[in-house]
Amino acid sequence: MQKKYYVLTLVLLVFGMMMFAGCGQESSSGSGNVKITYAIWDKNQKPGMDAIAEEFHKENPEITVEVQVIPWGQYWTKLEASATSDTMPDVFWMHSQSFLRYANNDLLMDLTDKVKGDVDLNNFPKDLVELYSKGGKLYAVPKDYDTIGLWYNKTLFDQKGIPYPDESWDWNKLVEVAQKLNDPDKGVYGIVAPPDQQSFYYNFVFQNGGEILNKDKTKSGYAEEATQQAVQYAVDFSQKYKVSPTVQQLADMSREQYFESGKAAMGLFGSWMLGDFKENEYVAKNCDVTVLPKGKKQATIYNGLGNAVAAKTKHPEEALKFVKFLGGETANKIQAEKSAAIPAYKGTEQGWVDANSHFNVKVYPEMLKYAVIFPNSESREKWMQLEIDLMSKIWSGDVSVKDGCNELAKQIDAMLATETK
């Protein structure tokens, strides 16, 4: 078994090195121009990133940026493999859940002093800047942000004569309408309610005054009554009210597929889903989005990506010049107008709204005023997997909400105790 594991690891490392081979190498044209690489994982955003790279090249003709798309399922394996051989892409997307691991292993360039004077961090939400900082040092420039909205099927609402959801909705209204829209005979569920953190139950936790981590990240919030009440509310859609596919059904057909095929009347989806929804003929014709229903208060989880530079890039000057450009107004306006994502740069969101005017997407940036930043810590990747495992058991009914959440709190607390503060 150990031999098989060694061979598999070796294959992944070699594949990763091949994938990023030549990253940041000079072009072979003999012109002296430098080519740097920019790694991303979302193919829907490639046109926007290409447009940014082209505009950067116009201003810096001696530098060419190659945008590389590596699907999410392969991105981190290949990035980690390339890190072992010092062949990481010059500039690349960083996700909050993996950021601290890369920063702690000195794989990201410290940008603090290097972007000072060129990138004004006051142009970005403070939470996003802090999300990609450690020990007072900045390791990635905020790229975008996302919030969570309530998507609904207008056709199914119309058939039942039910008014569309709006900002007046609360938890009770969501349950009430999900029950009215539920139609087992037609194979239609009132809502799709998965055991998903960011796209589902986290939002209810914060709306109920609960928390996932305390402010100084020394203790989990899963043992708190408010947090457990919110998880129970989320679970009840499938277990108590029977208005959502079960966790077993969601293993065979994704929540996106239920909604995109008209088999779920409502669902909570992040703004990053817009690219897929625009391309889906059924959703484009029948669906729209609004703000999340409120609990004790309004809240939505929000997160965002960062643009990082490899610590050992062979072209630090060129990579830095590009990441500074990515942190400027011009690049963020292009990102918005190309419908890539909601830009993190304040005041450029309207371009994204205008580019997606078929849907009521203005609600996504509007919710930022009461959004709660994605909970994160050094051991995030480990306790996130714990959440996935235990929430699946809670959703399937194998473990009660109280027992599952208490076990989560116990194990997460132990992990937090080992972190460097």
79-117 per-position pLDDT tens digit: 999 999 999 999 999 999 999 999 999 999 999 999 999
Global pTM reads 0.91
Confidence of residue 14 (pLDDT cuts 50, 70, 90): very low
Residues 278-321 pLDDT 10s:
999 999 999 999 999 999 999 999 999 999 999 999 999 999 99
Rounded mean pLDDT, 145-169: 98
- At 349-365, the pLDDT tens digits run 999 999 999 999 999 99
Q: Decide the pairing of beta strands 34-40 and 63-69.
A: parallel
Q: What was the pLDDT predicted at 20?
A: 53
Mean pLDDT of the chain: 93
- pLDDT for 35-49, tens place per residue? 999 999 999 999 999
pLDDT score of 343: 98
248 contacts 239 by C-beta, under 8 angstroms? no
Domains and CATH numbers, the chain: 2-145+303-345 (3.40.190.10), 148-302+375-417 (3.40.190.10)
pLDDT category of residue 8 using cuts at 50, 70 and 90: very low
User: Average pLDDT, stretch 157-163?
Assistant: 98
**56 confidence band (pLDDT: 50, 70, 90):** very high
Return the pLDDT at 421. Answer: 65
What does the pLDDT average to over 194-220?
Answer: 97
What percent of the chain has a predicted confidence (pLDDT) above 70?
A: 92
Question: Is it the case that residue 26 has pLDDT exceeding 50?
Answer: no
What would the pLDDT profile of 211-234 be if each residue is shown by its tens digit? 999 999 999 999 999 999 999 999
Which pLDDT value is given to residue 10?
40
| Biggest CA pair distance of the chain | 68
The answer to whether the beta carbons of residues 158 and 292 sit under 8 Å apart is no
* Predicted pLDDT of residue 332: 98
With a cut of 80, say whether residue 6 has pLDDT above it: no
Q: What is the pLDDT at residue 16?
A: 47
Q: Is the pLDDT at 29 greater than 80, yes or no?
A: no
